[in-house]
Amino acid sequence: MDAIDRDILRELQRDGRLSNQELAQRVGLTPSPCMRRVRQLEKDGVIQGYRAVIDPEAVGRSFEVLVSVEVKRDREVVEEFEAALQDIPDVVEAHRLFGSPGCLLRIAVEDLRAYERLWIEKLTALSGVTEVNSQIIMKRIKEPVGLPVDES
């Protein structure tokens, strides 16, 4: 990956809806080689997809909670827990961690009542869960904007 590929990645992280022509202009290429590079980055799995960033309030999910979960340390139980998380749309991010807690979730729901219902009906009911701790997000200080793409 060279400096132009890194420029392409930076620009697409800022605005994934750039036309190929605009992207090419920003990175100093003509459209055809720019498109080839983007397609190659996609083929190589460097670019994994394109998404819209949605205002949580606009879709009724402005109540966010970080949840640490302890799961029984058994391979089958952990795999079953992770598979079950895929079926809970309110869990918008999930990370398995080294050490304790074993898992960190980011949950987005409408309000405290919706979170309480999720906590009671789903989170604590998942197989192998031994502990659930919640931290309610007061304010987002820094939004995710993509990964730094440094020169190597």
> Residue 151: is its pLDDT beyond 80?
no
- Provide the pLDDT for residue 97: 95
Question: Is 7 strand, coil or helix?
Answer: helix
Residue with tokens 């397609």: 39
What gap in Å lies between CA 75 and CA 51, rounded to an integer?
Answer: 32
Mean pLDDT of 45-73: 95
> Residue 47: is its pLDDT beyond 70?
yes
Q: How confident is the model at residue 45 (pLDDT cuts 50, 70, 90)?
A: very high
- Provide the pLDDT for residue 152: 64
Q: How confident is the model at residue 56 (pLDDT cuts 50, 70, 90)?
A: very high
- Provide the pLDDT for residue 105: 98
- Provide the pLDDT for residue 23: 98
If residue 14 lies in a helix (H) or strand (E), which one and from where to where?
A: helix 3-14
Mean pLDDT of 110-114: 97
- Provide the pLDDT for residue 5: 97
Query: Which is higher by pLDDT, 146 or 22?
Result: 22
- Provide the pLDDT for residue 12: 96
> Residue 104: is its pLDDT beyond 90?
yes
> Residue 145: is its pLDDT beyond 90?
no
CA-nearest of 67, 68, 85 to 136 is 67
Q: Are 74 and 127 a contacting pair, CB within 8 Å?
A: no
pLDDT 10s digits, 5-19: 999 999 999 999 999
pLDDT 10s digits, 127-139: 899 999 999 999 9
